[in-house]
């Protein structure tokens, strides 16, 4: 069990790290996306597809400036839900939870 000094030291380090992250991300460059908004609006199915191919798209986006992982011109919540569902399917978000009773599975 940790004593109070260790807990306080840990909380202080975490607090300083969080403040540093907030300060650093506040300096991030913003991009004008008005050029992207003229195209069609992406919905649930496009979000699902973008989530499924997100690992490949991320790798391509490292080398090609015109490739983005996330569709900017989307309809909001449904696109986000589809995107997160696609990412969860791609990375097997609940595969371990479904076999927690089987010893050979995990």
Q: Tell me the per-residue pLDDT of 19-49, one tens digit each, with 9 for 90 and over.
A: 988 888 777 666 666 666 677 888 999 999 9
Whether residue 76 lies inside any domain: the answer is yes
Report the predicted TM-score, pTM, of the whole model to 2 decimal places: 0.57
Average pLDDT over residues 48-61: 91
pLDDT of amino acid 64: 86
In whole angstroms, what is the distance from residue 99 CA to residue 93 CA? 12
> Could you tell me the two tokens for 66?
């015109």
In whole angstroms, what is the distance from residue 58 CA to residue 61 CA? 5
Whether residue 58 lies inside any domain: the answer is yes
Q: What is the largest CA-CA distance in the chain?
A: 58
Under a CB-based contact definition with an 8 Å cutoff, are residues 86 and 51 in contact? yes
Number of domains the chain contains:
1
Whether residue 65 lies inside any domain: the answer is yes
In whole angstroms, what is the distance from residue 83 CA to residue 70 CA? 8
Whether residue 29 lies inside any domain: the answer is no
Q: Domain of residue 78: give its range.
A: 41-93
pLDDT at 106 exceeding the cut of 80? no
Whether residue 63 lies inside any domain: the answer is yes
């Amino acid at each position: 069990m940790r004593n109070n000094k260790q807990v306080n030291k840990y909380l202080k380090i975490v607090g300083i790290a969080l403040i540093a992250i907030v300060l650093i991300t506040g300096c991030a460059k913003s991009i004008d996306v008005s050029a992207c908004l003229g195209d069609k609006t992406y919905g649930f199915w496009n979000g699902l597809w973008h989530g499924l191919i997100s690992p490949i798209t991320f790798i391509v986006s490292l080398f090609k400036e015109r490739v983005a992982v996330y569709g900017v011109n989307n309809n909001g919540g449904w696109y986000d839900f589809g995107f997160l569902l696609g990412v969860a399917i791609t990375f097997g978000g609940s595969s371990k939870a479904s076999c927690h009773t089987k010893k050979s599975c995990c």
